[in-house]
């Protein structure tokens, strides 16, 4: 029996060097930072507590992948990231596209959008 999950994919590669580069980019040039999901859910150095609290209320477990990890695990998926997927019965379904995430100007808007879209899928 497969477990249904939410899969959050950041538009950034994993690893210590990439993390340091992302932090610098977020601080020095936030308007050109390429991961709207990270910008909403993380401060400069850590995940926002409000986001962690929200994740704990969701009815599904969550996976968090960087772009390189996602492409390795799900090679045939769309390139436009960040994104949020619903994994049901071994199939990924797009829950929030990069554009959907970009349209969320605040963390509260992102949380509301996830809750609303997830309720329609479950």
pLDDT of residue 74: 85
pLDDT of residue 22: 52
| pLDDT tens track for 22-66 | 544 454 455 554 678 888 897 766 788 999 999 999 999 999 998
Measured in whole angstroms, the distance separating CA 84 from the mean position of its chain's CA atoms is: 5
| pLDDT tens track for 96-110 | 999 999 999 999 999
- Are 10 and 67 in contact by the 8 Å Cβ rule? The answer is yes
């Amino acid at each position: 029996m497969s477990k249904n999950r939410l899969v959050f994919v950041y538009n950034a590669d994993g690893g210590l060097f990439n993390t340091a580069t992302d932090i610098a980019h977020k601080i020095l040039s936030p308007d050109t930072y390429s991961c709207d999901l990270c910008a909403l859910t993380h401060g400069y150095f850590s995940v926002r507590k409000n986001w962690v609290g929200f994740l704990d209320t969701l009815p599904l477990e969550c996976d968090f992948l960087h772009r390189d990890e996602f492409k390795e695990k799900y090679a045939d998926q769309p390139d436009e990231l960040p994104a949020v997927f619903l994994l049901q019965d071994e199939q990924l379904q797009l829950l929030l596209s990069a554009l959907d995430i970009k349209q969320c100007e605040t963390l509260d808007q992102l949380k509301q959008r996830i809750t609303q879209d997830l309720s329609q899928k479950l």
